[in-house]
Amino acid sequence: MVRRIAGLLRAHLGRLLVAVSASVATELAALALMGTAAWLLARAAEQPPLAALSLAIVGVRAFATGRGVFRYAERLASHDAALRALATLRGRVYDALVPLAPSGLPAYRSSDLLSRMVSDVEAVQDLVVRVLVPVSTAVVVAGVAVGFSALVLPSAAVVLAAGLALAGLVVPLLMVAAARRTARRLAPARAELAAHHTDLLQGSADLAVFGATATALDEAERASERLARLERRTALTTALGGAAAMLVQGVTTVAVTVLALGARADGGLAGVMVPVVALVALIAFEPVLPLVPAVQRLLEARSALRRVLAVLDTPPPVAEPGDGALPAPSGPVSVALRGVSVRYPGATIDAVDGVDLSLTPGRRVAVVGASGSGKSTLLACLMRFIEPSAGTVLLNGADARRYDGDDVRAVITGVTQDAHLFHTSIRENLRVARPSASDDDLLAALQTARLRDWVESLPAGLDTMVGESGGQVSGGQRQRLALARALLADPPVVLLDEPTEGLDPRTADDLMTDLLASTRGRTTVVVTHRLAGLDAVDEIVVMDAGRVVQRGTHAELVAVDGPYQDLWWASRPALASE
């Protein structure tokens, strides 16, 4: 993990060096300021000529001013480096999630992913500002302080070095031993509490309906108490470590002062140097004391970054071809599946088993079957959201794996079963598919999706907000908005996964009729459980348990015994009642 983080920070090494240099300069200015001020006061007590003090007076002013300037530069440089590293890591996490999301992220809850992308990624900022810079500064300043003491009074240097080692190494290492387990549990505990809050907010209506609100609140309260216990334990450990380091600072300073006074009495040290040696010892601990909380931050950052790296290391379901990718398909697009099988990780049977399918330009195919028969998996494979475990998907005669996934989805796209609406206006939701679309283009797509009259009746029209995940519109309207967006994209191959889901039977049949009419001449694959209107497609593929069990036209399939005829006769009473 250290190597991975070092690789992340390498791009910002220059800014980190500036931050460390400015921080070292700040602490050295503080050290010089106190040492010079101590010498000035001690020397002034001897009432020398003013000229003997002028250099020290100028030094005090210069060191005081320089300390403020260097501190400002350090804050600016360290936060600049930290925020740039933060942006880099967050971008990498997002890039890692993009290929994972379409095929699902069953290993992560949405709230947990949000916690990893926000709170855990921000651990990089703590790593730079509160760990790397303070540690580097403490090492340099401690070395300078010990070196100065060795020149003035070697015995004091030995005591000071021992004290700094005790406060800067031993105490933090003891903290590591005491806090490692707690720090490792903090980030997951925060993620768990965030998950409970998300469930309470998003599921409040269902919890109220089933009388489960009190139980959910109790679970959230228990998660909050667990997190509070961990944070109290962490705070206590940090406080004890800080107190121990300050005790070492006090004892060391007293010991150095006693040695300096003894050397003064023996004539081995000038009287004006006694306060200088004592105050240098005192101030030398200032950059060392932050190492105690820095260790705690390091432990928490390691735990958080481990969670982030788990996302980065999750293998994508689809391998991109890289530099050897074929150029994006152009012109008429033909698609063929040859013996395609798909098996999800951990599964013992194929979700799609040996499917053959031919989609020549303009051909329209309907895929029907019971839930779980592999229909949606087949569409995901066509859009290159998942990789076939056997067989080949051909795009214009070439293996689809030789194309970039984005290039495949530019020509093969449509409405997925769980299409998402963003928390913005109807206009902006539609323009996701084509940002340059005019209002007339949007209204035409809405007309095909049988939503234009409804949108025009709204006070804000296309500027109407749909709410988070489309929560301000009905399920049917949400589905039709997603359908209008797919039609607006105008891809060569349109995939429609249950486009009439959530609609009443009459509206569903009317919409299916409109869809089939609007896609005439365009390559189309429709996954549906409704059979009305399928006499207009070129081929119907019936799937069961991942396999194609029947295929043909509506007239051919209705005329023979089989699953399609059973589905057709089962739907007849519903059709008659409509």
Fold of 332-577: Rossmann fold (3.40.50)
pLDDT over 90 at 578, yes or no:
no
In the block, which residue shows the tokens 């939503």? 451
Lowest-pLDDT choice from 45-59, 100-114, 390-404, 448-462 = 100-114
Structural tokens at position 170: 């031993």
Q: Is the pLDDT of residue 572 over 70?
A: no
Instruction: Describe the strand order of the beta sheet including 335-342 as a list of residue ranges.
Output: 352-359, 335-342, 390-395, 398-399
Average pLDDT over residues 63-82: 92
Kindly tell me the number of DSSP H helices and DSSP E strands found in the chain: 21, 10
SS (H, E, C) 540-576: EEEEECCEEEEEECHHHHHCCCCHHHHHHHHHHHHHH
Residue with the two structure tokens 């440089």 = 77
| Whether pLDDT at 6 is above 80 | no
Q: How many CB atoms lie within 10 A of CB 426?
A: 27
The reported pLDDT for the residue numbered 476 is 73
Taking the CB of residue 99, how many other CB atoms lie within 10 A of it?
19
| Mean pLDDT of all residues in 440-461 | 86
How far apart CA 14 and CA 540 sit, in angstroms, is 63
pLDDT tens string 146-173? 999 999 999 999 999 999 999 999 998 8
pLDDT band at 215 (very low <50, low <70, confident <90, very high): confident
Looking at residue 282, what is its pLDDT?
A: 94
Six-digit token string for 23: 């921080």
CA dihedral in degrees (451, 455, 458, 462; nearest 10)? 160
3-state secondary structure of 398: strand
Contact 426, 464 (CB under 8 A): yes
Q: Which fold has domain 2-312?
A: ABC transporter transmembrane region fold (1.20.1560)
Domain boundaries, the chain: 2-312, 332-577
With residue 89 as reference, give the H or E element that holds it: helix 54-100
The lowest-confidence range among 77-86, 225-234, 361-370, 514-523 is: 514-523
Taking a C-beta distance cutoff of 8 angstroms, is the pair 107, 314 a contact? yes
Q: Look up residue 54 and give its two tokens.
A: 């002028």
Q: What is the separation of C-alpha 73 from the centre of its chain, rounded to a whole number of angstroms? A: 30
Work out the pLDDT band at 412, boundaries 50, 70, 90: confident
Contact between 499 and 353 under an 8 Å Cβ cutoff? The reply is no
- Measured distance between the N- and C-terminal CA atoms of the chain, rounded to whole angstroms: 63
> Across residues 430-447, what is the average pLDDT?
88
Look up tokens 């928490």; give the residue. 300
What's the confidence (pLDDT) of residue 156?
93
Identity of the residue numbered 42: A
pLDDT, tens digit, 9 for 90 and up, residues 101-134: 666 565 667 677 777 777 788 877 788 888 889 9
CA separation for the pair 476, 436 (Å, rounded): 26
Predicted pLDDT at 575:
46
Distance (Å, rounded) from C-alpha 57 to C-alpha 36? 8
Mean pLDDT of 511-523: 74
d(CA 58, CA 50): 12
Mean pLDDT across the chain, nearest whole number? 85
Least Cα distance to 291 among 136, 432, 453 occurs for 136
pLDDT (tens digit, 9 = 90+) per residue, 247-285? 999 999 999 999 999 999 888 889 899 999 999 999 999
With beta carbons less than 8 A apart as the criterion, state whether 108 and 198 touch. Answer: no
pLDDT of residue 164: 95
For residues 137 and 120, give the distance between their C-alpha atoms in angstroms, rounded to a whole number. Answer: 25
Q: The tokens of 530 are what?
A: 């409704």
Round to whole Å and give the CA distance between 107 and 113. 10
pLDDT at 577 over 50: no
pLDDT value of residue 502: 65
